[in-house]
Amino acid sequence: MLTIATGNKAVAAAVKAAKPGVIAAYPITPQTEIVEQIAEYVAGGDLESRYIPVESEHSAMAACIGASVGGVRTFTATSSHGLLYMHEMIHWAAGARLPIVMANVNRALGPGWNTWAEHTDAFSQRDTGWLQVFVGTVQEAYDATLMAFRIAEDERVLLPMMVNLDGFALSHITQSLDTVELGDFVPPYHLPHAIDTENPLGYGPMTGPDDHFRFRWDIERSMRDARGVIAEVEREFAERFGRSYGPTEDYRCEDADVVVVAMGTLGKEAEVAIDRLRDEGIKAGSMRLRWFRPFPDLDLAGREVVVIDRDYSFGFGGVVAHSLKSKTGIEPYSVIAGLGGQEVTYNDIADFVRNRRPGTETWFGVSDHV
Amino acid sequence: MTNITVRSVTNLSAIPKEEYLYKCTSACAGCSSSLCLRYVLKAAGSDSVLVIPACCTSVIQGIYPGTAMNVPVYNVAFAASAACASGMSEAFAAAGKETNVIVYAGDGGTVDIGIQALSGAFERGTNFLYICYDNEAYGNTGMQRSGATPLGARTTTTPGGKPTTKKDLDRIVEAHNPPYMATACSAYPLDLYKKVKKALSIEGPKFIHILAPCPPGWRYPTEKTVEMGKLAVKTGTWILYEREFGKLSISGPSKAAMKKPAPLEDYIKGQGRFKNLSPEILDLMRQQVQQNIERLAREEAGVC
């Protein structure tokens, strides 16, 4: 059904369609609209789900862990400080192999208080064993959330998954949304290691080095298997519902000499910049990186690359720029831009391409070519 | 209806023979908390799940892939047990199951790092039983002080004796108006058994606070572990009671003790942690015991 929605409401609509048995909810700007909308669904009888209004994000993830291993589908949503407050349990969820789905509305971290878009929150959970996808439109927020349940709960994966959408720049903007009749796209929840009092097991007891090490490898093995599962699910989604997704969303890349790599809404903004540059005769393309974990293989051989990082790893560099460099060997022009919701227009992105200096880094509007 | 069953259990021989905590665990010799867990599980039965934060029981249950338990045990991070149990309880409810969800947590995981999650779960009316077994310090990590360590007790982080008093956990829990809460002590297993049975017959958040003397931590010989619990009750240091829908009733063993408590020294003198207690501190401890006895006696008599 064609309608209009904000990014947050699109996520909530997808959650309604996937019917989790338990939802843990704690408000934080700019995520709050998701848990409010779900509360409305539950109160109005549109979603038959147990809604736990927890007292913190640490408890939100702990409650999802208990519910997920208890044998039901679970969902929660957070942002920024909330995500970091649940960090311990984020690791726990992955280590416990629980397919919890969480929406994270990307927001900067304090101090000072800043509620606008930045990817530092999600990237700080980089090494936890969660799958992470970043979306660029309201429709994609909906579609990716639906697919998240299917991918995470696949027995070849059984890892939690985070759907990332930019605070305000996507969470609060309104675009068209085509909702689907889900049918059997997301099968009933089945966790092979769910708690069963007829078959009592010890979960997560003291574990020696050999077993611990093996369990870590098992997470990585599933993360590798997840690439195939993601491709499979995205293909089936396209067949069923007519919208196709991949590890990246490529725009006019085929013959491009220079490619802009960005994530989230900046990746969509880049497409407008590409049209401008093409009008000027610059053969530019855009590659919006959707998947962050597992990190995709990128086909960028022989091109110049401009990476826009809405994040920074202090003492090291832009996280996406360095990930790309380590994966492809390409020295990109690294642009740090949009932190704390800084406005970055398509004209700015076109300038990044025009003024590119591969192998250097610039902090947009703050410090050039450092 | 369950109360009738509970009343019929008048001696230890009436407690079920089934064991859910097997022999030869990794518990220290004379460990009273594992003794309590044995009776808790006998009362709860096989359709139960234990949620356990970091605590002595994390160690007692054994090392992967072994387990000393015959019920599912979910180990979870230190601060997270009550929240994890909330999710599990709701999941079972969503699936139409009546499985008992029981948190078995130490005092550090309850009065300190876990108190926020505990408070949240009780405020939300989560259907579960939270049991705090209290050995009055971080026992698992080698006896550092916790908020539950009593005044004057020496721990590895209070080498000169703890300068402040024990956090009154029960009054904090009571402020949440749970339908059932009780205190218990490892030296009175029948009393504990009945309280667990009763708690599990009631819908909503239930709480049991067990005093669990610890030989290495309190520094007394292992064979004195039951005696130490009895002395805690007989001196009035630890008072056994139940609070059903707010109404207080003092349990049998504490009724006599409150009328004529044994001298506090009987309890103190056998414990190395209270060695070289100053007369001033001892006097303060006596006053606290007396005040607590009087407060509960007044409340039970309806004189508030």
Q: Are A152 and A28 contained in the same domain?
A: yes
CA B202/CA B200 separation, integer angstroms? 5
Tell me if chain A has a CB within 8 Å of the CB of B22: no
Chain B, window 164-193: residues with a beta carbon less than 8 angstroms from a chain A beta carbon: none
In the prediction, which pLDDT does B2 show?
43
Q: What is the CATH number of the domain that holds A307?
A: 3.40.50.920
Rg of chain B, C-alpha, whole Å: 18
A219 is a domain residue: yes
Range of the domain at A89: 2-183+207-241
Nearest to A197 among B47, B93, B123 (CB): B47
ipTM, two decimals: 0.96
Given CB atoms, is B258 within the 8 Å cutoff of chain A?
Answer: no
Report the residue of chain A nearest B66, measured CA to CA: A202
In a domain, residue A352? The reply is yes
Min Cα separation B259/chain A (Å): 42
Task: Give the closest-approach CA distance of B234 to chain A in angstroms.
Answer: 37
A82 in any annotated domain: yes
Q: Is residue A188 part of a domain?
A: no
Q: Cβ separation of B73 and A64 shorter than 8 Å?
A: no
Domain final position from A192, A224, A241: A241
Please indicate if any CB of chain A lies within 8 Å of the CB of B95.
Answer: yes
Q: CB-based contact (8 Å) between A218 and chain B?
A: no
Q: Output the pLDDT for position A370.
A: 64
Interface A-B, measured as beta-carbon pairs within 8 A, has a size of: 166
Of A54, A68, A202, the CB nearest to B83: A54
B149 and chain A: CB distance < 8 Å anywhere? no
- SS3 state of residue B263: coil
Most A-contacting residue of B64, B124, B127 (CB-CB within 10 A), to test interface: B64
Phi and psi angles of residue A361, each rounded to the nearest 5 degrees, phi first: -125, 145
The answer to whether the CB atoms of B62 and A74 lie below 8 A apart is no
* Secondary structure (3-state) at B45: coil
| A215 closest CA partner among A69, A338, A81, A95 | A95
Distance CA B180, CA B171 (A): 13
Cβ pair A50:B94 closer than 8 A? yes
Q: Does A196 touch chain B (CB under 8 A)?
A: yes
Ranges of residues in chain A whose predicted pLDDT is under 50: none
Contact between A22 and B91 using a beta-carbon 8 Å cutoff? yes
B83 neighbourhood in chain A, CB within 8 Å: 54, 56, 58-60, 62-63, 66
For residue B261, what pLDDT is reported?
A: 97
The pLDDT value given to residue B11: 81
How near does any CA of chain A get to the CA of B90, in Å?
A: 6
Beta strands A131-134; A291-293: pairing state: antiparallel
CA torsion A174-A178-A179-A184 (nearest 10°) is -140
- For B121, how many CA atoms within 13 A lie in the half-sphere containing its CB? 37
Find the CB nearest A53 among B47, B85, B124.
Answer: B124
A55–B117 CB contact, under 8 Å: yes
- Is there a domain that residue A12 lies in? yes
Structure tokens at B181: 């809460």
DSSP-assigned letters across all residues of A222-281 = HHHHHHHHHHHHHHHHHHHHS----SEEEES-TT-SEEEEE-HHHHHHHHHHHHHHHHTT
How many Å apart are CA A279 and CA A59, to the nearest integer? 52
| Segment A142-156, tens digit of pLDDT | 999 999 999 999 999
Domain CATH code at residue B139: 3.40.50.970
C-alpha to C-alpha distance for B195 and B43, rounded to whole angstroms: 9
Residues A233 and A252 in one domain: no
Verify that A142 and A15 share a domain, yes or no.
yes
Contact A204 B76 (CB under 8 A): yes
B90 in contact with A at a CB cutoff of 8 Å? yes
Contact A208 B64 (CB under 8 A): yes
Instruction: Determine, for residues A203 and B75 on separate chains, whether the beta-carbon distance falls below 8 Å.
Output: yes
Residue in B50, B63, B74 to test binding to A, most A beta-carbons within 10 Å = B74
Residue of B nearest to A24 (CA): B87
Q: Which residue does chain A place closest to B89, by CA atoms?
A: A67
Domain end position, chosen among A241, A265, A286: A241
CATH number at residue A25: 3.40.50.970
What is the pLDDT tens value at each position of chain B, 304 positions in all? 344 455 556 788 889 999 999 988 999 999 999 999 999 999 999 999 999 999 999 999 999 999 999 999 999 999 999 999 999 999 999 999 999 999 999 999 999 999 999 999 999 999 999 999 999 999 999 999 999 999 999 999 999 999 999 999 999 999 999 999 999 999 999 999 999 999 999 999 999 999 999 999 999 999 999 999 999 999 999 999 999 999 999 999 999 999 999 999 999 999 999 999 999 999 999 999 999 999 999 999 998 6
Among A56, A68, A197, the strongest candidate for a mutation testing the B interface, having the largest count of B CBs within 10 A, is A197
| Shortest Cα–Cα distance, A136 to chain B (Å) | 32
Q: Which chain B residues contact residue A213 at CB under 8 A? A: none
Give A291 to chain B, closest Cα distance, Å. 29
Residues A44 and A37: their CA atoms lie apart, in Å, by 10
Q: Do A135 and A220 fall within a single domain?
A: yes
**Phi, psi at A105, each rounded to 5°:** -90, 105
Range of the domain at B228: 2-10+18-300
Residues of chain B found within 8 Å of residue A200, distances taken between Cβ atoms:
46, 67, 69-73
Q: Per the CB < 8 Å rule, is B74 touching A24?
A: no
SS3 of residue A167 by DSSP: coil
| Angstroms from A165 CA to nearest CA on chain B | 26
Cβ A117 vs Cβ A168: under 8 Å:
yes
Question: A47, A49, A72, A207: which to substitute to probe chain B, counting the most B Cβ within 10 Å?
Answer: A72
Residues of chain A in contact with residue B58, where contact means CB-CB under 8 angstroms, are 205-206
Phi/psi at A251 (nearest 5 deg)?
-130, 115
Q: How high is the pLDDT of residue B13?
A: 86
The count of structural domains within chain A is: 2
Using the 8-state DSSP alphabet, how is residue A338 labeled?
-
Could you tell me the two tokens for A74?
Answer: 């679970």
- Alpha carbon of A115 to those of A66, A87, A319, B85: distances in Å? 30, 19, 21, 32
Per the domain annotation, does A177 fall within a domain? yes
The per-residue pLDDT for B304 is 65
What pLDDT, on the 0 to 100 scale, is given for residue B4? 42
Same domain as A291, residue A330: yes
Number of structural domains found in chain B:
1
Residue A196 lies in a domain: no
In which residue are the tokens 């994000």 written?
A57
Tokens 């030296």 appear where? B187
Q: What six digits make up the tokens of A327?
A: 């994966």
Q: Are residues A235 and A259 in the same domain?
A: no
Q: Please check whether residue A88 touches B, CB under 8 A.
A: yes
